[in-house]
Amino acid sequence: MAWRNIFWILVYCFVYFQRTTSRTVNLYVDKTFPVIEGERIDFTCVVTGTPRSVHFESSFLDNEIASWITQNDSCIYFQTPNRTFFDASCDRPSLTFSMTILRASYSYHQHNVTCEARYSGTNTDVSEGFITVEVNVPLVAVDMEIKENITLQENEEVNVTCSARSRPLPHFTWFVSGRQIHDTYTITTFDETVPSGTSTLTYTGNRTDNSERLYCVAESGEKHRESSGIFLSITYPPDIDVYPNGIPIEGNQQYNISCLILDSNPSVNNFRWYINSELVSEQTSNILTIGYLNRTDTNNYTCNATNGIGDPTIDFVFLDVLYKGSILMFTTTNTSMTEGQTYTAYVDVEGKPLPNVTWTRDKTDAILLTENDVTNSSLNMTSMCEDTGNYTVSVDNGLIQPDRRHFRLSVFCSPHKDQSTNNPDEISIEAGGMFTLETKIVAFPQPNITWYFRSNSSQTNRILISDNNVLISDISNDAIHLLTLTIEKTNSSHSGQYTLMVHNSIGQDNTSFTVNIIEAHSESSVKVEAIVAGVLGAVVFIILAACVVNCYRKMKRKEKQRKRSWRSSSKDIDDIIKENPIEDFGPIEPAYTSNTMYYKNQPSIQSIETDENTNKIYAKVIKQTTRQQPEVVIADSDANTSK
C-alpha closest to that of 54 among 15, 84, 92 = 92
C-alpha closest to that of 159 among 146, 170, 147, 148 = 146
C-alpha closest to that of 266 among 211, 304, 315, 303 = 211
Cα–Cα distance measured from residue 143 to residue 165, given in angstroms and rounded to the nearest whole number: 10
Which of 518, 533, 553 is the endpoint of a domain? Answer: 518
Q: Identify the CATH number of the domain in which residue 262 sits.
A: 2.60.40.10
H or E element at residue 553: helix 523-579
In this structure, are residues 449 and 474 in contact, taking their beta carbons and an 8 Å threshold? yes
| pLDDT in the model for residue 90 | 93
Which of 275, 295, 319 is the endpoint of a domain? Answer: 319
Distances from the Cα of 455 to the Cα of 425, 511, 514, 546, angstroms: 16, 16, 10, 58
**Segment 113-137, tens digit of pLDDT:** 999 999 886 777 899 999 999 999 9
Residue 544 within a domain: no
From its phi and psi, is residue 308 left (phi > 0), alpha (psi between -120 and 50) or beta? left
Distances from the Cα of 314 to the Cα of 153, 279, 284, 298, angstroms: 19, 13, 14, 19
Does residue 53 sit in the same domain as residue 131? yes
Cross-strand bridge partners of residue 378? 346
Does residue 164 sit in the same domain as residue 38? no
Q: How many domains does the chain have?
A: 6
Cα–Cα distance measured from residue 253 to residue 242, given in angstroms and rounded to the nearest whole number: 19
Residue 537 within a domain: no
Does residue 281 sit in the same domain as residue 157? no
DSSP state of 626: S
Question: Residues 44-57, buried b or exposed e (16+ Cβ, 10 A)?
Answer: bbbbbbbbebbbbb
Distances from the Cα of 191 to the Cα of 111, 146, 232, 474, angstroms: 17, 21, 30, 119
28 contact partners, CB below 8 Å, separation of at least 6:
43, 44, 45, 46
| pLDDT in the model for residue 573 | 44
Pairing state between β 171-176 and 157-165: unpaired
Which of 319, 345, 378 is the endpoint of a domain? Answer: 319
Residue 543 within a domain: no
From its phi and psi, is residue 432 left (phi > 0), alpha (psi between -120 and 50) or beta? left
Residue 100 within a domain: yes
| pLDDT in the model for residue 278 | 92
Does residue 122 sit in the same domain as residue 189? no
Cα–Cα distance measured from residue 237 to residue 228, given in angstroms and rounded to the nearest whole number: 30
Residue 559 within a domain: no
Does residue 6 sit in the same domain as residue 131? yes
| pLDDT in the model for residue 585 | 42
| pLDDT in the model for residue 121 | 66
Host domain of residue 433: 418-518
Does residue 122 sit in the same domain as residue 149? no
Residue 549 within a domain: no
Does residue 446 sit in the same domain as residue 370? no
- Cα dihedral 580, 583, 589, 594 sign: negative
Does residue 390 sit in the same domain as residue 478? no
Does residue 100 sit in the same domain as residue 46? yes
Does residue 6 sit in the same domain as residue 132? yes
Residue 106 within a domain: yes
Residue 426 within a domain: yes
| pLDDT in the model for residue 6 | 63
Does residue 174 sit in the same domain as residue 69? no
Residue numbers in the chain where pLDDT is lower than 70 = 1-21, 121, 520-530, 532, 560-643
Does residue 110 sit in the same domain as residue 24? yes
Cross-strand bridge partners of residue 87? 100
577 contact partners, CB below 8 Å, separation of at least 6:
none
**Segment 575-587, tens digit of pLDDT:** 544 555 544 444 4
